[in-house]
Amino acid sequence: MSAQSLEIRRSSASVWGSRSGLRTVPTVSKYIDTTTCIGCKACEAACQEWNDLESVATRQTGTYQTLPTLDSQYWNLIRFNERDFDGGIIWLMRKDQCMHCEEPGCLAACPAPGAIVQYENGIVDVNAENCIGCGYCETGCPFDVPRFHATTGKMAKCTLCVDRTSVGLEPACIKACPTGCLQFGTKDDMVALGNGRVEQLKANGFANAALYDPQGVGGTGVVTVLAHGDHPEWYDLPADPHVPILVRFWKSVLRPLGVVALFGAVLGAFAHYTKYGPKEVRGADDPNSNLPQA
């Protein structure tokens, strides 16, 4: 799988990726079952350890959640949400990380060629050597994932352990999960697994159970089983994520229009010169003057 999976399907600020087209590689996906996640944070520790991320300063603010949101040095965060439900309470835990969208908003927004790539297996990754740290991907991402690292001046996020997955290993977070609520495999397999679990949940009284694989971004490389699938926002998930319409407009409409306008202006000036020539002082009575006679 190794070299094949590293072929690039899409690349930021580039028209084409760099796929050889010689082989097809299945799209991979993480599977997160929030109904069997116990919020143990083994995935957080594994992510930090495998990726050699520096420690982040945290403090107890009245929650089990390690940080308020993801951080450039903290790519994997269990989000804890407690709420009243059906006369009792529920405590929802969801592993938050890059969703590896089929149509990544970060990649769409990124201005640096090759800084964000989507590999042939669907993994969306930041190439630090090409990243210019502009932060556009932060705005492009509907899941609020990429983060600017102040020291390196680069954007950082979950790589889906591309270094592990490209040699046939599961991502570090998956490896560390003690309950098996995290799985890794082909997108098709993970969706099948998720649908099975959703059916089981429905049979157990969770009528709104659903597999979160939002089509607004073409589906994600992380499929999530939600017991309360009608309320993804309870899990800090957007109900209908898509690449922001303004980002799309900006990148797909405004930018080409702007380029046309700029070249148009230059051409216009040139055309003007060709037609009218310089507005020149040639003496007031110059018969060749192109100026109207006073």
Partner 1 sequence: MTNGWVDIKNADVILAMGGNPAENHPVGFKWFIEAKKTRNAKLIAVDPRFTRTAAVADLYAPIRPGTDIAFLNGMIRYAIEKKRYHEDYVKIHTNGPYLVGEKFGFQDGLFSGFDAAKGEYDKTAWGYEPDKNTGGYGVDPTMQHPRCVFQLLKAHVDRYTPEMVERICGTPKGTFEKVAEIVTSTGNAERVGTITYALGWTQHSTGVQMIRAGAVLQLLLGNVGRPGGGMNAFRGHSNIQGATDTGGNTEILPGYLKTPVGPQTNLKEYLETATPTTLNKQAWATMNYWVNYPKFMVSLLKSVWGKAATRENDFGYDWLPKTDGNYSWMYIFDDMYRGNSMRAGGKEPGPEGLVSFGMNPVGLGPNSKKMIAALSKLKWLVMVENVETESAAFWKAPREYEGPEPSKIPTEVFLLPAANFAEKDGTFTNSARWLQWKWKALDPPGQAKADQEILSRMILAVQDLYRKEGGALPDPVLNVSWSYTNPVSPDLAEVLKEMSGKAVTDIPDPKDKTKILKTAGQQLDGFGQLQDDGSTLCGNWLHSGVYTEAGNNAQRRSTADPNGLGMFHNWGFSWPANRRVMYNRASADADGKPWDPKRPGIWWNGLKWVGDVPDIKPDSPPGQFGAFIMLPEGVGRLFSPVLNDGPFAEHYEAIEAPIDNPLHPNVTSNPASKKFSTDKDIYGKKEDFPIVCTTYRLTEHFHYWTQHQQNGRLNEMQPGFFVEIPEGLAKEKGIANGSQVKVVSARGEIQGVAMVTKRMPELKIDGKPAWQIGFPIHWGFAGAPNHTGPLANMLTPSAMDPNTWTPEYKAFLVRVEKA
Partner 2 sequence: MSTVAPHRPLDTAIIAARDREDIVVGSEIVRHRRASRLIHWSVAVTFFLSTLTGMPIWTPVFGWMAHLFGGLSVARVIHPWAGIAFTLASVVMFFHWLGDMRFLPSERGWLGPKALEYMRYQSDDSEVGKYNGGQKLLFWATSLGMVGLLLSGLLIWFPRAFPRLLLEFAYILHDVTFIAFAVAIVFHVYLGTAAEPGTFGSMTRGTVTRAWARLHHPRWYREVTGEDSRRG
Q: Which residues lie near partner 2 (CB under 8 A)?
A: 13-14, 111-113, 130-136, 138-139, 144, 148, 153, 244, 246-247, 249-250, 254-255, 257-259, 261-262, 264-266, 268-269, 272-273, 276, 278-281, 283-284, 290-292, 294
Name the residue type at position 284.
Answer: A
- Gap between the Cα atoms of 66 and 44, Å rounded: 9
- Gap between the Cα atoms of 24 and 121, Å rounded: 9
Instruction: Give the distance, in angstroms, between the CA of residue 169 and the centroid of all CA atoms in the same chain.
Output: 22
Member of 23, 83, 255, 272 binding partner 1 (CB under 8 A)? 83
Nearest to 89 by CA among 76, 102, 80, 101: 80
Nearest to 188 by CA among 165, 163, 211, 160: 211
- Gap between the Cα atoms of 32 and 222, Å rounded: 7
Q: Does 38 bind partner 1 (CB under 8 A)?
A: yes
Is the CB of 144 or the CB of 163 nearer to partner 2?
144
Name the residue type at position 218.
Answer: G
Picked from partner 2, partner 1, none, the partner binding residue 272 (CB below 5 to 8 A depending on kind) is partner 2
Q: Does 170 bind partner 1 (CB under 8 A)?
A: no
Is the CB of 59 or the CB of 279 nearer to partner 2?
279
Picked from partner 1, partner 2, none, the partner binding residue 40 (CB below 5 to 8 A depending on kind) is partner 1
Picked from partner 2, partner 1, none, the partner binding residue 68 (CB below 5 to 8 A depending on kind) is none
Nearest to 225 by CA among 235, 217, 215: 235
Is the CB of 56 or the CB of 260 nearer to partner 1?
56
Q: Does 152 bind partner 1 (CB under 8 A)?
A: no
Running DSSP on this structure, what letter comes out for residue 238? Answer: -
Residue 94 Cβ, how far from partner 1 at the closest point, in Å?
A: 11
- Gap between the Cα atoms of 99 and 282, Å rounded: 68
Residues that bind partner 1 (CB under 8 A): 35-42, 44-45, 48-49, 55-64, 66, 82-84, 88-93, 178-181, 197, 200, 203-204
